[in-house]
């Protein structure tokens, strides 16, 4: 047996809106697209988008490491996503983590390497 691909699956009430979010937010490339199942590749990882979701907020375990967290947070809202809470930024603990939600209610993290 050979493993051909590893996928991370998200549910979407509106699969086209979900694909648009991940394409615009992270520069994802759609490799397969249909109403029931679509796939988008981001930084070599495949995310499967399963149509027919309820649109309820769901924690995914999905995390994206970025080089500029402040820029990513700005982009997040531009793409229709949001923060689940304002991230903390203190002298003792500089901004490095943001808890976010996509257009379909899937929660994910944006992180930045600490210096």
Pick from 6, 105, 14: nearest CA to 46: 6
Assess if residue 51 is contained within a domain: yes
* Partners of 9 in the β-ladder: 48
Q: Is the per-residue pLDDT at 112 higher than 90?
A: no
Host domain of residue 24: 7-111
Looking at residue 107, its pLDDT comes to: 95
Alpha-carbon separation of residue 64 from 1, 11, 14 (angstroms): 30, 18, 22
Assess if residue 2 is contained within a domain: no
Assess if residue 1 is contained within a domain: no
Structural domains in the chain (count): 1
How many residues make up the chain in this entry? 115
For the domain that residue 58 is a member of, what is the CATH number? 3.10.180.10
CA 110 – CA 13 distance, rounded (Å): 23
pTM score of the predicted model: 0.86
CA 7 – CA 5 distance, rounded (Å): 6
Q: What is the pLDDT of residues 20-77, one digit of tens each?
A: 999 999 999 999 999 999 999 999 999 999 998 888 888 888 999 999 999 999 999 9
* Beta-sheet strands, E only, within 4-105: 7-12, 29-32, 37-42, 45-51, 58-65, 82-83, 97-101
């Amino acid at each position: 047996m050979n493993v051909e691909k590893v996928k991370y699956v998200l549910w979407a009430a509106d699969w086209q809106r979900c694909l648009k979010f991940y394409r615009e937010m992270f520069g994802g490339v759609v490799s397969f697209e249909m109403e029931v199942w679509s796939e988008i590749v981001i930084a070599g990882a495949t995310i499967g988008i399963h149509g027919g979701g309820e649109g309820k907020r769901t924690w995914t375990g999905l995390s994206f490491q970025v080089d500029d967290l402040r820029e990513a947070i700005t982009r997040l809202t531009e793409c229709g996503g949001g923060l689940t809470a304002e991230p903390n930024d203190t002298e003792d603990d500089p901004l490095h983590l943001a808890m976010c939600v996509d257009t379909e209610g899937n929660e994910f993290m944006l992180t930045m390497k600490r210096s």
